[in-house]
A and B are shown apart, each in its own frame.
Chain A
Amino acid sequence: MVKTVMITCGGALGLLMCCVVEQHEGGANPTESMTRALISDDCIARQSTLGPVQLGFVAGVILRERIPAFERMLWRACRGNVFLRQAEIETPLEDPSTSDQVYKSVFIIFFQGDQLKTRVKKICEGFRATLYPCPEAPADRREMAMGVMTRIEDLNTVLGQTQDHRHRVLVAAAKNIKNWFVKVRKIKAIYHTLNLFNLDVTQKCLIAECWVPVLDLENIQLALRRGTERSGSSVPPILNRMDTIEDPPTYNHTNKFTSAFQTLIDSYGIASYREMNPAPYTIITFPFLFAVMFGDLGHGFILAAFGAWMIWNIFFGGRYIILLMGLFSMYTGLIYNDVFAKSINIFGSGWRVYNFTMKNVSELVSGATLNPTHDYVGFPYPIGMDPVWQLSKNKIIFQNSFKMKFSIIIGIIHMLFGVVMSLFNYLYFKNKVAHQQMQATENGDAEQPIHNNTAQTPVAHGGHDEEPLGEIFIHQGIHTIEYVLGSVSHTASYLRLWALSLAHAQLSEVLWSMVLSKGLKVDGWAGGIALYIIFAVWASLTVSILVLMEGLSAFLHTLRLHWVEFQSKFYSGNGYGFQPFSFEIILDSATQAKEEI
């Protein structure tokens, strides 16, 4: 922020003459006033011998907007005995503290005598003007200007190098910043957990109470020992199992295949501790019930292909569910004998038309009726629906009753399975209550005040026994009626299997006959091109409506059947999840929070 200003000045007694570059006082010949000295040299020589009457000056820069006030102040304070010249500096300067762009003016003040000098300097200080030394002799000034120039150049190189260096350092740091963030988050999580520890009475060790899976106890022991060795501590850690009256959290071991199914169950409610977990059975029943509603070999193949592609390419939790749903749909599609609403005849139909002559055919009015006694070959179609139904007029009537009965059978099996599960729950929890009761009486004898809470639980259970017999009858009666009514309505709820599968089959048939069939019915060679276009339309409609929309709807209905109809038979889901200390979870949630911002 150094600015040089060229000042020529013929210092003289009594008179003064000053010329700031680019500023001319009026006059006929401005250039002359710049070059010609008003006072001849001998005059100067005489003056110097005369002594103390000497014209002094100070030069500096000041904020441009302060100039008028500065000038007025100088005039008043020095009673007009100073002479101020100023010029605006065109280029804006950068304030080093605020890095704002400011406009400044350069000024020079002439005065006479020391008294005025101190006063002028005070005023300059007051106005926050920056004063720069300015030698009197022109040669010195030139030298100084040169010096300042070189210094500016030096400083510029230094600044440039600093900037380069800073850039390099920041670029190098940017590579590491992610790792640093990860490290900081890990350390923070560790210290946060350590803060939850309690100090021992001796103040020499830390005590933590936590849940651990019993299966992993040995691993934890090993890890603790390893930690002790690595930290070089001489005190071995102590891991103690303690008795508690708190309900432990629920922890289900999962892998990449089962975790998605466990998530489906957990989003309804996490199992109470040691309750039957429906997830293993859901792995089969979920895709199967879905496939009952989505039965079509073609659509199932699309879904399965999509699922398989996801397994190879992207990390999505539900990819195995989608693959299984697709495979099961292919199976049910084979059973329904539906490939994009068309049947395939693999093994040969079980129905024949015997003794049909040309005459018979031409006499037919509206199709022939097949008689089971002599048109049936004697053995059924090996798998699924006979392809002959594709051509029959009563296909829907037959499939309606078939699918309706089938869905009720599936529903009852599914719910009975749930009831069986409730038996296991009942056996386990009844044992547990009895065990607790026994423990409580023991504790009561020993009169340990700490275990007061344990003693209270069985009292609540014992309370049932004191209920009068009549009320028990009423309660049980109400429960029974509720249960029976619930089971009936749940059975009816399984009819959605029938409704959705029928709707799916009909929708795909309509799509075939309304779209693709139009392309197939075009006569002549133009049909090829028409088919080319119409097939693309049909394919995209198949994917968007039949696979995506219908698939989503079937998925939701399947979810409902599991959550409500199946799990209501045995599953309370009142537990809470085991949340182990895991860097992975902590870092995941941190990155998610960052994305949300």
Chain B
Amino acid sequence: MPVCGPKLSLCGLIISVWGIVQLALMGVFYYIGAVALAEDIPEAEYHEGKLQEFYAEVDKGFKQNAYNCWIAALLYLITLAISAHQFWANNRSSLSV
């Protein structure tokens, strides 16, 4: 049974496809520690003389963000499934009318 309208389900489809592609790629970039994304990790504080700890913290942030990106991508995969089902249900109901 269609819950969302045809436009909302189409919107969900597009955003989830976009989200899956971009977030999965960003996850990979975080995983390999891309420098361009260094500004977009949870704050890591630098204490005088404790450089190793700072590096470890930054690495942890990179890994954490990689997983977070993949989690979000997974959530978008679910959204994609729901939207696709809704889209299909809408198409079917509009055809049968």
Q: Which of A391, A516, A527, A540 contacts B68 (CB 8 A)?
A: A527
Q: Is B41 engaged at the interface, CB distance under 8 Å to the other chain?
A: yes
Are A528 and B18 in contact, CB atoms less than 8 angstroms apart? no
- Residue-by-residue, is A522-565 near B (CB-CB < 8 Å gives 1, otherwise 0)? 11110111011001100110000000000000000000000000
Q: Which residues of A contact B65 (CB under 8 A)?
A: 520, 527
Contact A528 B36 (CB under 8 A): no
Chain A residues whose C-beta falls within 8 Å of the C-beta of B76 in the assembled complex = 532, 535
**In the complex, what residues of A have CB within 8 A of residue B49's CB?**
362
A110 to B: closest C-beta gap in Å: 66
Q: Tell me which of A344, A391, A523, A525 contacts B71 (CB under 8 A).
A: A525
Chain B residue nearest in CB terms to A302: B18
Residues on A with C-beta less than 8 A from B68 are: 520, 522, 525, 527-528, 531
Given contacts A527-B68, A528-B67, A528-B68, contact A539 B19 (CB under 8 A): yes
Select from chain A the residue with minimum beta-carbon distance to B16.
A536
Q: Which A residues touch B19, using CB under 8 A?
A: 532, 535-536, 539
Among B39, B70, B76, the one with the most A-chain Cβ atoms within 10 Å of its Cβ is B39
> Closest Cβ of chain B: how far from A506's Cβ, in Å?
16
Does the CB pair A522–B42 fall under 8 Å? yes
Chain B residues in 8 Å Cβ range of A535:
19, 22-23, 72, 76
Contact status B36-A517, CB under 8 Å = no
B89 at the interface (CB under 8 A from A): no
Kindly provide the distance from the CB of B32 to the nearest chain A CB, expressed in whole angstroms: 11
Nearest Cβ distance between residue A359 and chain B, in whole angstroms?
9
- List, in ascending order, chain B residues with CB within 8 A of A361's CB: 51
Complex partner residue of B40 from A343, A358, A517, A539, CB under 8 angstroms: A517
Closest A residue to B70 by beta carbon equals A528
Beyond the given pairs A362-B49, A527-B64, A527-B71, 7 more chain A to chain B contacts, judged by CB atoms under 8 angstroms and listed by A's residue number, are: A345-B35, A361-B51, A513-B39, A517-B40, A522-B68, A528-B72, A539-B19
Contact yes or no, A528 B15, CB < 8 A: no
What is the minimal beta-carbon distance from B25 to any residue of chain A, in angstroms? 10
Within 8 Å of chain B (Cβ to Cβ): is A326?
no
Complex Cα distance A362/B51, Å?
Answer: 7
Residues in A357-405 with C-beta less than 8 Å from chain B? 358, 361-362, 387, 390-391
Inter-chain contacts of A345 with B (CB < 8 A): 34-36
Chain B stretch 30-52: residues in CB contact (< 8 A) with chain A: 34-43, 48-49, 51
Shortest Cβ distance from B67 into A: residue:
A528
Say if the beta carbon of A435 comes within 8 Å of chain B. no
Q: How large is the interface on A (under 10, 10 to 19, 20 to 34, 35 or more residues)?
A: 20 to 34
Which residue in chain B gives the minimum CB-CB distance to A520? Answer: B40
> A527: nearest residue on chain B (CB-CB)?
B68
A532 to B22, CA, bound (A): 12
B75 interface contact, C-beta 8 A: yes
Residue from the set B37, B43, B51, B68 with the largest chain A CB neighbour count within 10 Å: B68
Q: How far is the CB of A387 from chain B (nearest CB, A)?
A: 7
A539–B11 Cα distance when bound, in Å, is 11
Closest 9 CB pairs of A and B: A528-B71, A527-B68, A531-B72, A523-B42, A520-B40, A532-B72, A528-B68, A532-B75, A517-B40
A358 touches B36 (CB 8 A): no
Q: Given that A532-B72, A532-B76 are known contacts, is A344 also in contact with B40, CB under 8 Å in the complex? A: no
* Chain B: minimal CB distance from A100 (Å): 39
Task: Tell me if B58 is interfacial: C-beta within 8 Å of chain A.
Answer: no
Which residues of chain B are near A525, meaning CB under 8 Å? 67-68, 71
A521 located at the interface, meaning its Cβ lies under 8 Å from any Cβ of chain B in the complex: yes
Distance in angstroms from B38 CB to nearest chain A CB is 8
A64 CB–B CB distance under 8 Å: no
* 27 residue pairs bridging A and B, Cβ less than 8 Å apart: A345-B35, A361-B51, A362-B48, A390-B35, A391-B36, A516-B40, A517-B39, A520-B65, A521-B41, A523-B43, A524-B64, A527-B65, A528-B75, A529-B72, A531-B68, A531-B69, A531-B71, A531-B72, A532-B71, A535-B19, A535-B22, A535-B72, A535-B76, A536-B19, A539-B18, A539-B19, A540-B15
Interface string of B1-36 (1 = CB under 8 A from A): 000000000000001001100110000000000111
Quote the shortest CB–CB distance from B88 to chain A (angstroms). 18
A342 touches B36 (CB 8 A): yes
Does A358 lie within 8 Å of B51, measured CB to CB? yes
Partner of A343, one of B18, B23, B36: B36
* Min distance, Cβ B68 to any Cβ of chain A, angstroms: 4
8 Å CB contact of A520 from B22, B41, B71: B41
Closest residue to A349 on the B side, CB-wise? Answer: B35
Q: Which of B54-97 contact A (CB under 8 A)?
A: 64-65, 67-72, 75-76
For A387, list chain B residues within 8 Å (CB): 36
A539 B67 Cβ-Cβ under 8 A = no
Chain A residues 305-339 with CB under 8 Å of chain B are: none
Query: Whole-angstrom distance from the CB of A205 to the nearest CB of chain B?
Result: 58
Closest to A361 in B: B51
B43 neighbours in A (Cβ, 8 Å)? 521, 523
Q: How far is the CA of A390 from the CA of B40 in the complex (A)?
A: 13
In angstroms, Cα B41 to Cα A521, docked, is: 5
Which parts of A169-225 form the interface with B (CB within 8 Å)?
none
User: Closest chain A residue to B51 by CB distance?
Assistant: A362
Q: Which residues of A contact B39 (CB under 8 A)?
A: 513, 517
* B75 contact set on A, CB distance < 8 A: 528-529, 532
Could you tell me the distance between the alpha carbons of A524 and B71 in the complex, rounded to whole angstroms?
12
- Chain A residues near B18: list those with CB within 8 A: 539
CA separation between A125 and B18, bound complex, in Å?
A: 86
